[in-house]
Structure formats: C-alpha cells, structure tokens
Amino acid sequence: MSDKRKKLAALMLNQMEIAAAAGVPYVAEARNIDVSQLPEVPNRIPGEGGISTVRSMGISEDGNEVLIPTVVDGRLAPTAAQAEEEAMRHYRRTGKHLGKYATRAASDAAATLLHEREALRTGR
C-alpha cells in the first residue's frame, strides 16, 4: 500500500470514529473492541492465508449492519463457515462488535478502512 493510501485510510477511519462520537447517522454505534490489542493469528482459510487481526463479517440486526470479528479469543477457525459460526456465537454471547452502521455500504467501507489500518499497524 502506498504512503498516500495509508495516510488516507488512517484519516478516513479517524473521521468515521469522530462521526460516531458526534452521532452522525451512518454510524449507529461505535465499536466496543480495542483493535490495537488484538493478536495476530495465522489465517489458514483456503484462498486467504497470511495473518489476521480483524477479519470480519457483517450481519443485519435491528435495522443496522453490525460488523463483527471472526478472529475469536485469539484464534481463527480453519474454514470461513466455521469462522462465521464462531463469530456469531461470540457476538451473541458478548455483544462485542467492530461498529454498527446505518447501511451495508457504510459497514463495508468501515471494514475496508479498518483492515487497511490494521495492515499499517502490523506492517503487513
């Protein structure tokens, strides 16, 4: 990722966090997970590989799009389906999420920015 793209991704994510704090409608609720504390785990899901900290998925709930992590308790299941099942169980049990958004497009944008920011943080 180029330096210009890195700076833009960090700036956009910071703006989204500021918007959440200010109550901007596209952000229904800010994340309740400190992503800087998430461990790096091997991603052995076929077709993906590498290292993951915030591999995520989106679900619809109460009119919002909720972004939830699929890295649960410091591990990532070996298949995408298992990772999603574990993520759903963990979310239902703990309520931990990476943000709640008014639209799927906002959730997708937040996920992209978060993943790029994590790539910067981890140097990957």
Each residue's pLDDT expressed in tens, for the chain with a length of 124 residues: 567 767 766 766 666 666 666 655 567 788 999 888 888 887 788 888 787 888 899 999 999 999 999 888 888 888 889 999 999 999 999 999 999 998 888 888 888 888 888 777 777 6
Considering just the CA atoms, what is the radius of gyration of the chain in Å? 14
Cα torsion angle, 10, 1, 39, 87, sign: positive
Report pLDDT for 123: 74
What global pTM score does this model have?
Answer: 0.76
Report pLDDT for 9: 67
